């Protein structure tokens, strides 16, 4: 009975991400990794003991700890990607501000 709750939650997350992309509140490019994560959630909700088998492959004694490690790595990856994008956008903002200042000076 508990399995059905996890399946419902995982499917809800998947369809929520898809809905946000359709509403154009989230770009397809940015949503790719979140869709992958939600599909993994759906897979793990249907086959909950697959994480234990995967833990044996990686020689991890407690399967759920492997799930936390994967989650932390995933979120760190997303955080790094977003930080990189923020740095690029800050550079563009500085360049645009300089261009606006030059144009204002030229129009005086």
- Tens digit of pLDDT for each residue in 47-101? 888 999 999 999 999 988 998 999 999 999 999 999 999 999 999 999 999 999 9
Q: Count other Cβ atoms within 10 Å, centred on residue 46.
A: 12
pLDDT tens, 16-28?
988 988 998 888 8
Residue-level pLDDT at 34: 87
Q: Count other Cβ atoms within 10 Å, centred on residue 17.
A: 18
Residue 56 to residue 62: CA distance in whole angstroms: 9
3-state secondary structure of 102: helix
Model confidence at 1: pLDDT above 80: no
Contact 18, 28 (CB under 8 A): no
pTM: 0.72
């Amino acid at each position: 009975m508990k399995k059905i709750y996890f399946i419902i939650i995982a499917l809800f997350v998947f369809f929520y991400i898809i809905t946000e992309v359709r509403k154009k509140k989230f770009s397809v490019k940015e949503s790719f990794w979140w869709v992958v994560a939600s599909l993994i959630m759906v897979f793990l909700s249907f086959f909950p003991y697959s994480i234990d088998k995967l833990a044996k492959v990686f020689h991890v004694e407690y399967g759920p700890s492997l799930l936390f490690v994967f989650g932390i790595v995933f979120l760190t990856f997303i955080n790094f990607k977003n930080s990189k994008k923020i740095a690029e956008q800050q550079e563009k903002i500085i360049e645009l501000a300089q261009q606006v200042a030059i144009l204002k000076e030229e129009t005086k």
